[in-house]
Amino acid sequence: MNDTDVRKGLAGVVADHTAISKVNPETNSLLYRGYPVQQLAAQLSFEEVALLLWTGELPSEAELEEFVQFERSHRALDPRVKQAIDLLPTDCHPMDVGRTAVSVIGANDPDSEDSSAETELLKAKKLFAAFPAVVAYDQRRRRGQDVVEPRDDLDYSQNFLWMTFGEEAAPEVVDAFRVSMVLYAEHSFNASTFTARVVTSTLADLHSAVTAAIGALKGPLHGGANEAVMHTFDEIGIRTDETRQQAAARAKTWMEEALAAKRRVMGFGHRVYKKGDSRVPTMKQALDAMIEHYGRHEILGLYDGLEQAMDEAKGIKPNLDYPAGPTYHLMGFDTEMFTPLFIASRITGWTAHVMEQRADNSLIRPLSAYSGPEERHL
Ligand code: COA
């Protein structure tokens, strides 16, 4: 092994096969189990997409109904999880809360150490159903509000927003939220999914894999970017009395200065997509709907100004986090809650990969090229 064999960041390395999703940077396309993600986002519930990712096929009506009932009956915040969250300060990062909550959920799951295929799927479904209450409660406690109990007459997205804000969201808002969940659900061997697969490859349990994946997702080069996008908007300054054009002009100037200072601007660029992220047009439509719904055209001005200036200066395109950040902001989530929303969605992809890795496992253990001192003696 010499230095020329080193593939820094594993860039370009094909680490294994997967049948879960296909990213094609040439055609800007993303398929979940063969289906274009745009079609899934346009037509299916998030619950259906979750089943597709886990099982490989779209559910029958009866299978979907069974899962919907299961999900609705496993939504309540477990008192032991609530107790653990209450021990954490309200100024810690919400990703720390999400990571801790999954750990506590795993420790209390009687099936924790059973990794048979059937039980693994059951654990994935339970975690999918339980996690929204964690995010909703964490958002509420930071605002000094109490838990809102789930409602079993609402679907996943409606109930998520209900538990967070304590009121029924408008259909347009529910739909934009559902679209974001579908788009964030899966993206092949990204850093957090690969982390989940590395942990699974040691034959550790599903909750350990998801807990580790959350750690990887927290970083701003990965999931933390949706939150960082909003910090950029805040740094430029959101002025509700400004026109779209005025906001765009200020954003352009900000971007030119940021690039001149060699700053990395979050929400732009991608390791795999170099001509644009396949998920952005669909998420941008959802953002546009929220801008109309809330009447906040100055946000669109900031969005366009940054995008245009980045394109003109470096030709770097936005990634999914770019439209997702302001969408969640408009819905009323605190900025720090954005990446935990990503967790809620990506639990589906991570757990699908845990199951795939376990079904045909090989310990993931690469080599390194030693660059320390030659052998020496005391
Ligand atoms: N802002 C400014 N410049 C960027 C950039 C960004 N967001 N993304 C890439 N670049 C530039 C780099 O500075 C570098 O320029 P140089 O060759 O002049 O030094 C070039 O593009 C290549 O960047 P590199 O970091 O080597 O590419 P990568 O494939 O490793 O990067 C990311 C992928 C995602 C890490 C990178 O685009 C990034 O940091 N983006 C911001 C974080 C983000 O939004 N992450 C969410 C991903 S879904």
What integer pLDDT is reported at residue 232 of this predicted model? 97
CA 266–ligand 1 middle distance (angstroms)? 8
Q: Is the model's pLDDT at 74 over the cut of 60? A: yes
d(CA 62, CA 65): 5
d(CA 161, CA 173): 9
The type of residue at 296 is R
Q: Is the model's pLDDT at 337 over the cut of 70? A: yes
Q: CA-CA distances (angstroms) from residue 327 to 31, 70, 225, 282, 332?
A: 23, 29, 14, 12, 9
Strand stretches in the chain, DSSP E: 21-24, 29-32, 35-36
Ligand 1, atom 35, residue with closest C-alpha:
221
What integer pLDDT is reported at residue 3 of this predicted model? 66
Kindly state the percentage of the chain with pLDDT values over 70: 99
- Is the C-beta atom of 268 inside 6 A of ligand 1? yes
Q: Is the model's pLDDT at 4 over the cut of 90? A: no
- Is the C-beta atom of 270 inside 6 A of ligand 1? yes
What integer pLDDT is reported at residue 136 of this predicted model? 98
pLDDT (mean) for 333-342: 97
Please check whether residue 175 is in contact with residue 286, taking contact to mean a CB–CB distance below 8 angstroms: yes
- Is the C-beta atom of 170 inside 6 A of ligand 1? no
- Angle at which helices 321-331 and 338-359 pack, to 10 degrees? 130
Name the 3-class secondary structure at 44: coil
CA 194–ligand 1 middle distance (angstroms)? 19
Q: Closest Cα partner for 276 from 325, 233, 320?
A: 320
Encoding tokens for residue 90? 């309200």
207 is catalytic: no
Q: Is the model's pLDDT at 265 over the cut of 60? A: yes
Half-sphere exposure of 270 (CA within 13 A, CB side): 22
Q: Is the model's pLDDT at 142 over the cut of 80? A: yes
What integer pLDDT is reported at residue 28 of this predicted model? 84
Residue 269 backbone dihedrals phi, psi, to 5 degrees: 90, 160
DSSP string, 3-26: GGG--GGGTT------SSEEEETT
Q: Closest Cα partner for 183 from 16, 69, 341?
A: 341
What integer pLDDT is reported at residue 375 of this predicted model? 97
Ligand 1, atom 25, residue with closest C-alpha:
271
Please check whether residue 27 is in contact with residue 47, taking contact to mean a CB–CB distance below 8 angstroms: no
Q: Is the model's pLDDT at 376 over the cut of 90? A: yes
What residues are paired with 345 via a beta bridge? none
Q: Is the model's pLDDT at 1 over the cut of 80? A: no
Q: Is the model's pLDDT at 2 over the cut of 70? A: no
pLDDT (mean) for 228-256: 96
CA 315–ligand 1 middle distance (angstroms)? 11
Count of C-beta atoms within a 10 Å radius of residue 355: 21
**Residue whose CB lies within 8 A of the most ligand 1 atoms, among 316, 320, 339, 345, for a mutation test:** 316
Question: β-strand 21-24 against 35-36: which pairing, if any?
Answer: unpaired
Residue 113 backbone dihedrals phi, psi, to 5 degrees: -95, 0
Q: Is the model's pLDDT at 233 over the cut of 70? A: yes
Q: Specify the pTM.
A: 0.95
Name the 3-class secondary structure at 29: strand
Half-sphere exposure of 4 (CA within 13 A, CB side): 0
Ligand 1, atom 37, residue with closest C-alpha:
269
What residues are paired with 30 via a beta bridge? 23
Tell me which of 1 and 292 has the higher pLDDT: 292
What residues are paired with 35 via a beta bridge? 32
Average pLDDT of every residue of the chain: 96
pLDDT digits (tens, 9 = 90+) for 170-201: 999 999 999 999 999 999 999 999 999 999 99
What integer pLDDT is reported at residue 341 of this predicted model? 98
Sheet of strand 21-24: strand arrangement:
21-24, 29-32, 35-36
Name the 3-class secondary structure at 50: helix
pLDDT (mean) for 266-284: 93
What integer pLDDT is reported at residue 27 of this predicted model? 85
CA 264–ligand 1 middle distance (angstroms)? 7
What integer pLDDT is reported at residue 5 of this predicted model? 87
